[in-house]
Amino acid sequence: MRPLEYLRLSWRSIRGHKLRSALTTLGVVIGIAAVIAFVTLGASLQAGVIGDISPDDQRNAYGWAADPDVEGGPLAGAQPVFSQDDLETLSEDEEIDAAYGYMPLSTQALVYEDEISPQSDALVAAGPSYIREETLDEGRQFESGEREAVINPAVAGQFEENVSVGDELTIVLQGGQGTNVTVVGITEDSEGLSPFEGFEPSPRVYVPTDPYYTEEAATMLPGDGGPGEDGPGEDGPETENPETEEPAALQDGDEADDALFLAIVVEADSADDEDVDAARERALAYLESDESDASELLGDDLEVTLQTSAELLQQLQDVLDLLQNFIVGIAAISLVVGSIGIANIMLVSVTERTREIGIMKAVGAQNRDVLGLFLAESVILGAVGAILGTALGLVAGYLGAWYIDLPLVYPLEYVALAIVIGVLVGVASGLYPAWRAARTDPIDALRYE
């Protein structure tokens, strides 16, 4: 008898007990669905996150100073310690291509052609090369010292009329003062450009630290105000004396040196691990040495962390992996329970169909035919459970990925694996019942009421 015939006949008997078969496969469905959903979500998350590291980003090391006991992602517990002087010194190092400060700035609103759009954390001050060429959809990087900005599509599309390159925006800062910028570039998408920003898309305006941050820094008490405050500097320092804003703008030159950055970006010459490590070591060595301004502010409690995107992501990945292993563990238990369910129903089925087995044997069915028929039945149950579970898991995973706005990834190898596992579950749970069926004595079976 041919394998296809086993499947055909077995499918008939499964269809004969629709509800029972459906309930039997439920354990497998749930187990497989859980795995597939989380694998899909994980793969999408990975693609969304890793996909953001362009080759250019890979030569960046992101640094901040924090108490080493503070746990968390980038900028957790960060204190502003990096001075303009330090950055200039670093930039001159031969291992370092560029070094610039990074500073998220609090805002109240963005104004475009008299239209006001309230925004709290839309402003990011950084160096020109923070805007990498390939992330630009149109226009160019801003230039240091100019009142220029690169915006992302979330900002551009926020107003009645789309903002385009060359337009003027007014940014209302936390203190209430407005400052004008000329849009010189628009990025391709609205996701963060570095781990500092996070990965979820949100409206952002990128401006040069000089003049935007140096101006604002001048409005606070230089030096001592910074490190004493906590938080990523978004709402701390500048709330103290909004009246002094005008002088700050005028005193440009001198005050710029006192601006302290919350974070820095150190760009190596290339994305090679060696170059990145060399740049990082040089930067760390300098920042921790007595020559730097930062070393004074670091004191005993703070430590500088300099990490690449990949390393920062690895931490996220580790958490994700742990979660995934946990889910896979639960799913494995669910599959074991599912197998027991199938085995149980198959045993009931063998007993119920004793007479049928007797008839089949009387008309010439060999033991292996009966074995094949029952095994095919449990394999169908397992495989159907796996297919339904995969479909359910994909839907759930995609809904999840769509909800948190990640790119959809099709983990095809897992789909194939799920179906193989379903078949294996079917074989494992059907083996004993099928063997019992196969060795049924036809004489006893025919006498069975």
Partner 1 sequence: MKTGSAVSLEDVRKTYQLGEPVHALDGVSLEIERGSYTAIMGPSGSGKSTLMNLVGCLDTPTEGTVVVDGRDVGSLSSRERTQLRGATVGFVFQTFNLMPRLNALENVALPQLFQGAGRGERRDRARTLLERVGLGDRADHLPNELSGGQRQRVALARALVNDPAIVLADEPSGNLDTETEADVLDLFAEFHEGGTTMVVVTHERHVADRAERIVHLLDGRIERIESLEEEASGRPSEPGSSD
Binding region for partner 1 (CB under 8 A): 1-2, 5, 9, 12-13, 16, 355-356, 359-367, 369, 442-443, 446
Q: Which two tokens stand for residue 43?
A: 């793969």
d(CA 409, CA 220): 47
Q: Which residues are CB-neighbours of 210 under 8 A, at least 6 positions away? A: 144, 145, 256
Strands (E), 210-285: 260-261, 263-268
Q: Which residues are CB-neighbours of 218 under 8 A, at least 6 positions away? A: 248, 249, 251, 252, 255, 256, 258, 259
Which of 292, 301, 285 is CA-nearest to residue 261?
A: 292
Distances (CA, A) of 203 to 53, 109, 124, 154, 436: 19, 11, 11, 5, 66
| Contact by Cβ (8 Å): 433, 378 | yes
Judge residue 317's burial from the number of C-beta atoms within 10 Å of its C-beta, 0-12 exposed, 13-18 middle, 19 or more buried: middle
Which of 161, 208, 203 is CA-nearest to residue 182?
A: 208
Q: Which amino acid does the sequence have at 413?
A: E
With residue 61 as reference, give the H or E element that holds it: strand 60-66
As beta bridge partners, residue 172 has 109, 178
Distances (CA, A) of 183 to 127, 141, 169, 205: 16, 10, 7, 9
As beta bridge partners, residue 170 has 111, 180
DSSP state of 289: S
| Contact by Cβ (8 Å): 167, 181 | no
d(CA 346, CA 238): 73
Residue 8 neighbours by CB distance under 10 Å? 11
As beta bridge partners, residue 264 has 63, 101
**Helices and strands in the chain, H and E counts:** 15, 14
